[in-house]
Amino acid sequence: MPRETWLDVRRHGIGSSDAAAAVGLNPYQSQLELWMHKSGKAELLPAVDPSDETSPMYWGTLLEPIVAAHYTKRTGNRVRRVNAVLGHPRIPWMLANIDREVVGASDVQILECKTAGINGAKLWRDGMPEYVQLQVMHQLAVTGKQAADVAVLIGGQELQVHRIERDETMIAQLIALEEQFWGWVHRGEEPPADASENADTALRCLYPQDSGETVDLSEDITASHAFHQLVEIRQWMSDWEVQEALLKHQIQQRMGNASRASFSSGSISWKRSKDGQSFDATRFQQDHPHLAASYMQRKPGSRRFLVQTGGAGESSD
């Protein structure tokens, strides 16, 4: 089916690639961003170009047939595509796409193909990452199958094959947590934001413009507790920054003109960088105002988060 149709079908349920994000365990996507996709608010998010050659998703799709072919070469297991969105027989919102079906093997029925580049490879150092385990367990839950292999191409040259067996306890826990997430979608209720950059992006896309109004949260126990904790933590961070600067300056003073200092547990380098050049935009605007104006671009403003306490000034991020 066309990509837009496929995306629309997926919007009406939780797919296997959504599983880890739905339970808050995807390092690349927050619950809040996934909720936006499922709640019809995806257009508020930065657009994703499936043809972007710098995207891991692009290369994962391109290399999937190669990973599948080398899995067959490595294991002898034959595979075939499954060109359908699969659904759980009893849970209507539980969907799955599988990369390949393993044909004629008694011990494994599903193949999931992955690629890991420079940044993603570290997540595979200790075996299959948790977010991939959840994706595959979701597939086993939907299909009723007993086992799946995950073939991952690391750095374009190392193929690893990991086996994951059906775990009924894990499946029950996964379904319960996914059901909670789907409840948020059904009720139009935002899931709680986490500490990730992805959640920060989602919040800025959901609420890009302030209204000028003031909301009184003094009686909101949860929000008030978060505010007091935030103030305490920022003060703690400020105190530690002062201490960090003091220790740094003590060492710099002791080093003097030395380039390096060695210690029993490590070393410090303090070297002058090479001279560089910078463009003097202010002077250019003064000397060539009309020319500079023709190159100016409008930069959208963004909301600043300022924390103010009684008589203590403010801090922002």
pLDDT digits (tens, 9 = 90+) for 299-316: 888 889 998 887 555 666
Which residues are within 8 A (CB) of 209 and not within 5 positions of it... i.e. 6 or more apart? 303
Residue written as tokens 């940044």?
119
Got the DSSP string for 228-289?
Answer: HHHHHHHHHHHHHHHHHHHHHHHHHHHHTT-SEEEETTEEEE--PPPP-----HHHHHHH-H
- Grouping H, G, I as helix, E, B as strand and the rest as coil, residue 182 is helix
Residue 32 has pLDDT above 70, yes or no: yes
Cβ proximity of 97 and 15 under 8 Å: yes
Q: What are phi and psi of 119, to 5 degrees?
A: -80, -35
Phi first, then psi: what are they for 49, rounded to 5°?
A: -95, 110
Share of the chain above pLDDT 70, in %: 96
pLDDT at 160: 96
pLDDT in tens, 93-127: 999 999 999 999 999 999 999 999 988 899 999 99
Asked if pLDDT for residue 59 goes beyond 70, the answer is: yes
Condensed to tens digits (0 to 9), the pLDDT of residues 237-282 reads 999 999 999 999 999 999 999 999 999 999 999 999 999 999 999 9
**Average pLDDT, rounded, for the chain:** 93
pLDDT higher for 6 or 297? 297
- Distances in whole angstroms, Cα of residue 302 to Cα of each of 194, 205, 208, 210, 305: 20, 10, 7, 10, 10
Report the C-alpha gap between 41 and 206 in whole angstroms: 8
How high is the pLDDT of residue 48?
Answer: 79
Q: Which letter does DSSP use for residue 40 in this model?
A: T
Kindly report the pTM of this predicted structure: 0.84
Q: Are strands 110-116 and 147-154 parallel, antiparallel or unpaired?
A: parallel
Q: What is the pLDDT of residue 1?
A: 64
Q: Please determine, for residue 4, whether its predicted confidence score (pLDDT) is greater than 80.
A: no
Give all strands (DSSP E) within 62-130, no chain letters.
78-80, 86-87, 95-96, 100-103, 110-116
- Determine what percent of the chain is predicted with pLDDT higher than 90: 82
> How many whole angstroms separate alpha carbon 94 and alpha carbon 13?
6
Q: In this predicted structure, what is the pLDDT of residue 9? A: 78
pLDDT of residue 314: 60
Q: What is the DSSP letter of 57?
A: H
pLDDT at 311: 52
